[in-house]
Structures are given as C-alpha cells and as structure tokens.
Amino acid sequence: MEEFEKQVFYLFSEHSINIEPGAILPWFVTLIIAVPVIYHSRKLTTDCKTKGQATLELIYEKLVDLMSEITGKEYAEELMPILSVIFIYIFASNILGLIPGFQSPTSFFSNCLGMALITFIYTNYLGIKRNGFEYIKHFTGNIWWMTPIMLPIHLIGEISHPISLTLRLFGNIMGEDTVIIVLTTAMCPILLPIPMMCMAIFSGFLQALVFTILSGVYFSSALAEAH
C-alpha cells in the first residue's frame, strides 16, 4: 500500500523529493495559511476596502462566535488564538489530501499525536498557571486517604485525552485518504470520485471541529476553579 501511494497519490516520493511527506507537509500547510494572512494583515484599513480583509474579518467573527459556544464568553477571548489555529490548521491539513499529488498531514499518526500532545501540554499549563497547586491537588481528590485510588484514576483519565484525540483524527482521515486513493486510481482513473471528495471535505471539517471542541473543553476546564 505504501509503494502504491508513492506512485499515484503524492509528490514526495523516493523518485522526486527524498524526504518523508509526514515531515514536510505540515510546513506546507503552515505556509499556505500564513502567506495570505501576513499579506492582508499588512494592508489593514478601518473601512475594510479590500476583499481580502473583509474575508479575514468574516472568518474572525465566525471563529469568535464558535469559540464562545465552545468555551463560554468567560474564556473565549483568552482561548481564541490557540483554538482558532488548531481548527484552521487541522481543517487545512484534512483537505490537503484531496489535491492530486498530496497526502493529508493528519493521515500520519505522528502528526495527529503531535497535535494531541500540544492540547495535552497546554491544558496542564493553563491549569497550573491559573490555579497553581490546587490544580495538581485535584488529581489526588479531596480525601487524602483516597489518594492511592484517585491519583491513578485521574492520571489515566488525563492520559486518555491525547490518545482519544489522536486515534479519532488519524483513523478518520487515514480512512478517507485510502478510499480516495482506491477510487481515484483503481476504479475511476480519469474522472475523480467527486461525491466522495465532497464527503471528505465535510468529514474533514467535522473532524477539525470535534478536535477543536474537545480541546476547548479541556482548556476551559483547566482554567476553571480547581475541582
């Protein structure tokens, strides 16, 4: 299957660029997102004359509404930057595989794990920053003699967060890319499977939304009072 993909689906193969696509594609997605944002941010005006600025402002407004729904208005402003980056990056990564010659970065397990670990680390960073020792103390529970029982339970629960985020994102996107590869090359080499690709766009959006919602829940929970 790996050799099959190298020949028909993405450009980064041993015959062209001798580099792992899982390493270079995330940087490519970052470049795609960063270039238009940086370009239009240098030409900002108060009356919003350009279409680029109007588009970015519309995206920003929709993201603000989305983050408010996820985390509540209390934490929306603080969590807006990282949650927006997570959503846009994962969505762009998910649909990159629809372009002939590329593969979705999120179809690589290591990239999904990296995103999940960012969420995991930042969650605990926010909890310690906001609540200090109380955040660490909640892992042991309120009753000291229950610590040997409660500590492992809480630790397993925390570790399960990045594992579930990784497996959910990786499984869905990897499955989609595999189906598209088969349909595009084996069953329909000339006419691309348009219905399947439309479904992949919707699924890619949904997976990015789910990942963002769960990350927002973890972040806002860590920012709340120690429990």
| 28 alpha-carbon distance from chain centroid | 15
Q: How far is CA 193 from CA 22, 178, 181, 189, 199, in A?
A: 25, 13, 10, 9, 10
pTM of the model: 0.81
Mean pLDDT of 10-30: 67
Query: What band does 39 get if pLDDT is binned at 50, 70 and 90?
Result: confident
Please give the Cα distance from 122 to 116 (Å, whole number).
10
Name the DSSP letter for residue 11.
S
Quick one: tokens of 187? 């069953």
pLDDT digits 0-9 by tens, 128-140: 888 777 777 777 7
Query: What band does 166 get if pLDDT is binned at 50, 70 and 90?
Result: very high
pLDDT digits 0-9 by tens, 176-204: 777 777 766 666 555 556 777 788 888 89
